[in-house]
Amino acid sequence: MLPADLDAVCLFGADKNLVDSFRIEQCAEKEGVRLTTVLDLDGISEHLSKTGIKNSISKTPTHYLCNEAYWYLLERYRGKAVLIHIPTMKNYCNMSGKMTFPEHE
């Protein structure tokens, strides 16, 4: 139900295995078809790092609901989407004290 003319879409999913970092997903796979984001994941990673959020870029699709939603977003928006897995609320609260918010450049 998202409008077709968006510049990009950011999807967040919770991963109970993440404790003190975020995981940026590069691709999604459905029925053997792999779709990859065209967005600047290194830039996203750098911005997260500047705020004190450890993160990694994953090149391996997950096999859960998030992967399915991400695949459809990548298809609909011709790769202009990104899925970022974040810790659950419990694990996020443990890391939130370590985050910083530098002034905008």
Domain locations in the chain as residue ranges: 9-95
Give the residue with greater pLDDT, 48 vs 98. 48
Domain 9-95 in this protein, CATH class: alpha beta
Q: What is the pTM of this model?
A: 0.84
Mean per-residue pLDDT, 86-90:
83
- Contact (Cβ atoms closer than 8 angstroms) between residue 56 and residue 21: yes
- 51-84 per-position pLDDT tens digit: 999 999 999 998 889 999 999 999 999 999 999 9
